[in-house]
Amino acid sequence: MNPYSAQILSYFDALTMDSDRGGVHDYKSLLRSTVSAFLDRPDKERAFEVYSMFFDCYRVKLQGSASFIDLLDTLKSYEENAATLLDKQRDHYVHSVNVFLLGLAVYAVNPRYREVFRTASYEAVPYAGRRSTPGEEFLFQWGVAALFHDIGYPVEITSNQVKKFVSLVSGEAGRSDVGPYVGYQHFDALNRIAEVLYPEDYAAPFWAMTRLEPGALDPFAPLDLLSANLSMAFGVDLSAVKSALDGFLPAMQKSGFVDHGFYSALILLKWYGYLAQRSGAGTALLFGPILSAAGAILLHNYYKNVLQKPPFSLGLLEPEQHPLGFLLILCDELQEWNREAYGILDRQRVLAADSELTLTEDLLSVRYLTYEGTLSPDFGPRKEEMFSRLLDLKAVFPQGIRITCTTRTDLYIAAIRRADGALVPRPLLENLEQLARTIHENYNRTQLERHPEQPLAYPTWEELPDDLKYSNIRQARAMFDKLTACGYAAGEPGGENEVAGFTPEQVESLARDEHDSWYAERRQSGWSFGPEKDVEHKLSPYMIPYDGLTEEIKELDRDAVRNVFPLIHSIGMAIYHAG
């Protein structure tokens, strides 16, 4: 078990659950086992089990109607089906479980955050029905915030589908004039919690907890509840924040975007408001922890897009201001790994496949891992810069946050071996890394012969950036394809019909293919044309068709082709006419 998984599970070691007292239930063990199973295999099926177990622990369902699981299944269905027509769309179903677990790890490891939650949330809002320990109260509030924070995404998916279709049918001339958006004849009906209890009985805990005068807001309107939450958290004028939230739907329509967090928060309050009335448990639960979770869900986009801009112009979000909002923004922005791509362009992009997390009392370090291709060199710095503008992270992690990226060449090689085991000769697969290293050595040798006065950019394999290591491994794997394209095959030495080398015509044709493959790989990794090579900004003068290259650069591609035979020979194989 890796250290990060151990830290997540350590949260449960210190947890006591009120429902387990007396030995009738053992929800803690059941939830811990479900989380452990997800960590072993983080897929949709295991994610569903985490959702289900959390809801079972806290009875999160509607009597005689749809359940919260149905909402999450709708999100999964939209992403798996409707989102495949969009350019950009990634998984949010498994993602939300990973966000939930990352927050548990932060709480388990970081005493500063635990203290913030205890004082600014647990003790500050002593509602009727509060859990007897801060640890379990955090589990409940954080679970609701993290697991529900993207349930409004189907609205955003629908909006993006409409925009894409209208853009297509409008043609170039009409694209900037149509401005399609999601609208409602009666938005007030969506922004309304069904009334089951008498209004006075329903709202009494709200007035007591907010200390507002009865009638100052409509406690059956989710946006009014969110206005109260933000006003109390940040000390902003209630009428100003209510005006901003009431006007946010027209603002989104005018700007042509959808904030799914806005809808997620509204839906949570609408559904849970009905549940709180029907269950007989009282509405203090709604106006305390559920409203806090909904406020966090709203904030995960709304803080940077609205509250940090005029007229509010708030600075860094302090953890004491909104403990759940602070943590949700942090974990949601960090959780980039293991997110299935559904959108057309996202399926072509290089995405983080895994991560290595280091969590201490003072430091949060994340290294994103890719198996095929590389992330942009500025991916980590951009993340760090974003956090520096958004959150006061040093209040929780005094040494700050460090974000890096790397390509796991060993995993990339293993993936090639699994995929091509039946197609590619075993000696070639077993020697992929050695072949890639030799390709790099041959390149350096050629560069020294042609330009002895110029120092080598990367004298050793270990000094190569991840994207160039990946490129050399790809080139080693492609040797088999080059042989196949010419009707050749690699085999044990000593046979008949051995081939000595490629013909000049084959060299030129394969060099063209080599450049095309290099171009596609570079483009996937974010490179584009520039008059001079600029590694930092991923610009290259060679991001052009083969025919536009100088002879010197074409010769590099030809060298890659000519080296195929010596490289194959170096691993004890010969090349023959196939068949």
For 254-312, what is each residue's pLDDT tens digit? 888 899 999 999 999 999 998 888 877 789 999 999 999 999 999 999 999 999 999 99
pLDDT of res. 422: 57
Comparing 75-79, 432-436, 537-541, 557-561, which segment has the lowest mean pLDDT? 75-79
What is the three-state SS of 117-130?
HHHHHHCCCCCCCC
- CA distances 291 to 65, 143, 191, Å, are 22, 13, 15
In this predicted structure, what is the pLDDT of residue 65?
Answer: 47
Q: Is the peptide bond before 311 cis (omega within 30 degrees of 0)?
A: yes
Percent of the chain topping pLDDT 70: 88
Closest Cα to residue 301, out of 333, 259, 269? 259
Among the listed residues 262, 238, 264, 265, the one whose alpha carbon sits nearest the alpha carbon of residue 251:
262
The string of pLDDT tens digits covering residues 478-502 is 888 888 899 998 888 888 889 999 9
| Confidence at residue 206, expressed as pLDDT on a 0 to 100 scale | 95
Using CA atoms of 64, 96, 267, 58 in order, give the dihedral in degrees to the nearest 10. Answer: 40
Is the model's pLDDT at 519 over the cut of 60?
A: yes
- Averaged over 322-336, what is the pLDDT? 96
Least confident interval from 226-230, 317-321, 533-537: 533-537
Q: Residue 64: its pLDDT value, please?
A: 43
Closest CA to 306 of 255, 268, 379, 266: 255
Pick the range with the lowest mean pLDDT from 299-303, 325-329, 333-337, 428-432.
Answer: 428-432
pLDDT tens string 198-225: 899 999 999 999 999 999 999 999 999 9
393 pLDDT above the threshold of 80: yes
Helix (H) or strand (E) holding 154: helix 153-178
Contacts of residue 439, Cβ cutoff 8 Å, sequence gap at least 6: 472, 475, 476, 560, 563, 567
8 Å CB contact between 428 and 479: yes
Specify the pLDDT at position 222: 98
Q: Which amino acid is at 578?
A: A
C-alpha closest to that of 287 among 204, 404, 168: 204
Q: Give the residue among 431, 434, 370, 439 at the shortest CA–CA distance from 406.
A: 370
pLDDT above 90 coverage of the chain, percent:
51
> Are residues 138 and 14 in contact, defined by beta-carbon separation less than 8 angstroms?
no
Residue 349 or residue 523, greater confidence: 523
Q: Which residue(s) pair with 417 in the sheet?
A: none
SS3 for 90? strand
Which stretch of 49-63, 131-145, 559-573 has the lowest confidence by average pLDDT? 49-63
- pLDDT at residue 428, rounded to an integer: 65
**Mean pLDDT estimate for the chain:** 87
Q: Hey, what are 536's tokens?
A: 């930092």
**What does the pLDDT look like over 98-112, one tens digit per residue?**
999 999 999 999 999
User: Collapsing DSSP states into helix, strand and coil, what is residue 403?
Assistant: strand
pLDDT in the model for residue 522: 82
Check if the beta carbon of residue 575 is closer than 8 Å to that of residue 489. Answer: yes
Q: Please report which confidence band the pLDDT of residue 174 belongs to, taking 50, 70 and 90 as the band edges.
A: very low
Class of domain 421-577: mainly alpha
| C-alpha neighbours within 13 Å on the C-beta side of residue 439 | 29
Across the range 127-147, mean pLDDT stands at 95
Q: Provide mean pLDDT across the span 341-368.
A: 76
Judged against a pLDDT cut of 70, whether residue 420 lies above it is answered with no
Least confident piece of the model among 119-133, 352-366, 409-423, 433-447:
409-423
Provide the residue ranges of all domains of the chain, joining segments of one domain with +. 3-407, 421-577
pLDDT of residue 324: 99
Find where tokens 């293991």 sit.
338
